[in-house]
Structure 1
Amino acid sequence: MASIFQSRKEGTSVLPSGVQASYRSLTGKHQEQITINDEDKRRAGIDNILVDCLISIGDDTEVTLKKVQALLVEDRKALLFALRQLSNQENKEFRFEYEFPTQGGKKMKDAYKVNFTKDDFPVTPYKWVRTAIEKKYMEERGIESEKDLTDTDKTAILNEELPVLFTSYEEMLKEHKMQELELPECKVRVKYQLLDGVRELEFIKTLKKDTISSHTYLSQRKPKYLDPEKLKAEKEVWLDVPFGELGIPDIEALRKHMKDTEANVETTVVVQYKDNPAIQAQVDLVSTPAFFFPSLAV
């Protein structure tokens, strides 16, 4: 029997990877799942929200926990952002309070207001989607070379709607999740995986704050190379790339390739305590329950 209390809205959007998804709005059950006083259960609550709210991912209407965890991380962020907006159509503006670390025994809390505009919260899709948008834009305007694009053209391209490039999420992953490049200095070919929910969770569970470094971003994506000694014996053995042994041109090229290929769904804001620019913090909104449920902010 259908509940008389529920009337869930539905929406669709194209993910940064070029796959369309449809979903239904949040409920009070989801509010409980991400505010429960248990860190592991709160973390699992996000996955449960996606499983329950997603109607389809591409042409797949059987959404499971395994499929949700396999989503690329920027697709997950885009979905969470979309769910927030769909579920809070009367609260498009987000108001929240942030408490800074206590200084000299003084509690430091301030109120903030966020408007979700394209300029402040841009979505940069994955590289293959950006390439498709740029190609179509140039063809429609008879522009022959990227060198002929003006700053106005580049801005317009960034504001183009995301196209549907794949009907199957699995097809997109098969074609693009594994990336390859040749390091420019040592000429070694390297492959790595775009970050997904499974790998992100592994790092959240095992990574300690005092071990985070410039190499963390790289190691999350598991870059590997073929063991040349094994290749001589006609065997393929993939080894972890030793970041500490790479020359600067190579490690910079590896990081640049990753950043150029990954999408970016901006969900962070920098908050400043009253009028003191020395006291700042960066807040990831999708990690804040009040982002999804504004009544929790006050």
Structure 2
Amino acid sequence: MGKKENREKKEKRAAQPATSVEPEPLDRKTYDRALADLHVELVHLQNWVTATGAKICIVFEGRDGAGKGGTIKAITERVSPRIFRVVALPAPTEREKSQMYMQRYMPHLPAAGEVVIFDRSWYNRAGVERVMGFADERQVEIFLRAVPLMERAIVASNIQLIKYWLEVSPEEQTRRLASRIEDGRKTWKLTDMDLKSYSRWYDYSRARDAMFDASDTDLAPWHVVRSDNKRRARLNIIQHLLDSVPYERIPAKKVTLPARQKAGGYRQPDYPYRYVPEIY
């Protein structure tokens, strides 16, 4: 794809406003085909990041059940974890609580040739910590005043910062959290904190609004994604990510498999290997 053609496609997509009409469900075959094409482009993006030493930081925020984890998995499942690094920090230790708030996040920012994805981020202070009382209003206000300055410093160090907020409806959140109760594969996703957070929908709405007001800047804007339809949301985010990074396809070297060495007298030993039972 030529530079001009690629740029024109990006500009055309950017000019199209998001629709408020709920689209038809996306069938699995169509989704898989579109995702496979996007995965190829993510590999090209990875090659460009490696070749140029680019630094990309992607922040994912949103309510519980909005689809952050599934989206991050869709982005990373076909690229190298050495290049695309996911950061999902646990609750802070007592030592970390005594540090400057941003201190625990700074070491995870990308170095040259890395894409770092934050599955929740420093915006915990503006969201869950504020709503659940882990941070008082003074701490939150200090954070909201400081975060644009901190993000200005991040961008000034040649890190491309891309922030996504996944917006889910109350009805869809209820359905997804209920499925975590019923599906044995998902029970680990539902914590006591999720249940407490679920009951405070409008407290989270107010916290989100204040966060946007303070940190939705021209330098580091928030990109909001309607995520009631998981498949469409994932595809839209990946396409937006690709459109947001000025990557170019790096010409690939022609690869051929070398000739395999001759046995040179080697014989398979008569060894009692402990094979895994072939049940399936």
* TM score, norm. by length of structure 1: 0.22
Structure richer in strand, relative to its length: 1
* TM score, norm. by length of structure 2: 0.22
**Larger RCO, structures 1/2 (Cα 8 Å, 6+ apart):** 2
Structure richer in helix, relative to its length: 2
